[in-house]
Amino acid sequence: MAVETSRRDFIGMAFGGFAAAGGVIALGAMKKTWDPLPSVQSAGFITVDLSSMREGEVQTIQWRGKPIFILKKSADMPKNEKRDIVAGGSRYAVMIGLCTHLGCIPTWTPSTKQFKCACHGGEFDASGVNTFGPPPRPMDIPPFKIDGAKLVLGEEGPEYKKLVPKKA
């Protein structure tokens, strides 16, 4: 009887040990998933090299949980001195890709060179300015700094302060 009990105890302890080890491994894997990428680790800054973008190309990146649209403007797209960013001699439109109506994510439509919001039909031009439908204002410009042909998101550089002056 005593032998039986101690064998049962051993099996119980062994199982408990395996379960604890499995839990530690699972926690380690989960932490890895939660950890931000190295590129976003430094206080929410992210650096995007714009030099390889083609004219008319839009790329969407994630910054602080939000989509950021970066459009490299082509010569046939109207300039917008109040919103355009010039980096490395090229002109870009950079905006937080959330519709200013109720926060849906608009989609770039190359044929009409517009961002269209499928939720309620809102439209924005290539600079992110609302042109049709319920959106009440242009898409927001995220804080940024220009470093040569690189865009640093998360830092308010002089170019950002010029485009988006602080409200008094």
Q: Which of 83, 80, 72, 123 lies closest to 100, judged by CA?
A: 123
What span, in angstroms and rounded, lies between the C-alpha atoms of 124 and 107?
10
Residue choice 58, 96, 119, 152 for contact with ligand FES (CB under 6 A): 119
**Residue 117 binding ligand FES, by CB under 6 A:** yes
The yes or no reply on residue 67 touching ligand FES (CB under 6 A) is no
Q: How far is the CB of 102 from ligand FES (least distance, A)?
A: 4
Q: In what order do the strands lie in the sheet with 66-72?
A: 58-63, 66-72, 90-96, 85-87
Size of interface with ligand FES, in residues (CB under 6 A): 11
Using CA atoms, how far apart are residues 19 and 8, in angstroms rounded to an integer? 16
- C-beta of 20 vs 102, nearer to ligand FES: 102
Tell me which residues touch ligand FES (CB under 6 A): 99, 101-102, 104, 117, 119-120, 122, 133-135
